[in-house]
Copies of this chain bind each other. A is one copy, B any other.
């Protein structure tokens, strides 16, 4: 499954405006405007002036929220997005429901308390974001994330991402039995996405502070159907092109 650009000119538009540059601009803008995020349950809210609104939209962080506030556009960030801006890009201060700014360690514990698998999900999210993939929720497709090569207005998502974790206590229950694997691969096929399993290896490190993230390894696994009929040696169509992948 290759990149599926939306319409003519999208590939050129994306190449002339790389995601790494958009995110760097967002980072500068957030630092300059001293924007604060407000913890609110399982999300972080930020109010943005027009320039920042444009950058948040172009870099695909958060979802805009309709409010009566005429001055600011409000955005709702997921826990992973907020922690990425705060901890990795160091461009967002986050204020708790008690009105006090939160340290990275406090945020980490808060997010773990809201989402048991947060350390695994965050490692997977940041792993893809640092490689300049745009990462959005995959709930529409029954996976954890979807990953886009550039902005969703220009291209369809290429990967449906499932986070799998090694570890006794909070091991992910996904993709452990055949029916679940069949279901996920069949759905990915019908929406033209490739199933990417990110296997988070914690190497026996505890997850009490975000410093553990550096010690985690990420295993990347693509799962595809194997079609035996397309793998037969005597098939002329494949026999003519030896370099072609049989899958």
State the A residues within 8 Å of B (CB): 138-144, 162, 173-174, 176-187, 190
Contact = CB atoms under 8 A, between A and B. Distances in A.
The secondary-structure label for the interface of chain A is helix
B179 A138 contact: yes
Contact of A142 (B138, B139, B141, B181): B181
Nearest to A138: B179
Contacts of A181: 142
A161 B22 CA distance: 46
Contacts of A162: 179
Report the copy number of this chain in the oligomer: 2
A142 B174 contact: no
Nearest to A162: B179
Contacts of A138: 179
A133 B184 CA distance: 26
Given A141-B183, A142-B182, A183-B187, 15 more contacts: A139-B179, A139-B182, A140-B182, A140-B186, A142-B181, A142-B183, A142-B185, A142-B186, A173-B177, A174-B177, A174-B179, A174-B180, A180-B180, A187-B187, A190-B190
12 contacts: A139-B179, A139-B182, A141-B183, A142-B180, A142-B184, A142-B187, A174-B177, A180-B183, A183-B183, A183-B184, A186-B187, A187-B187
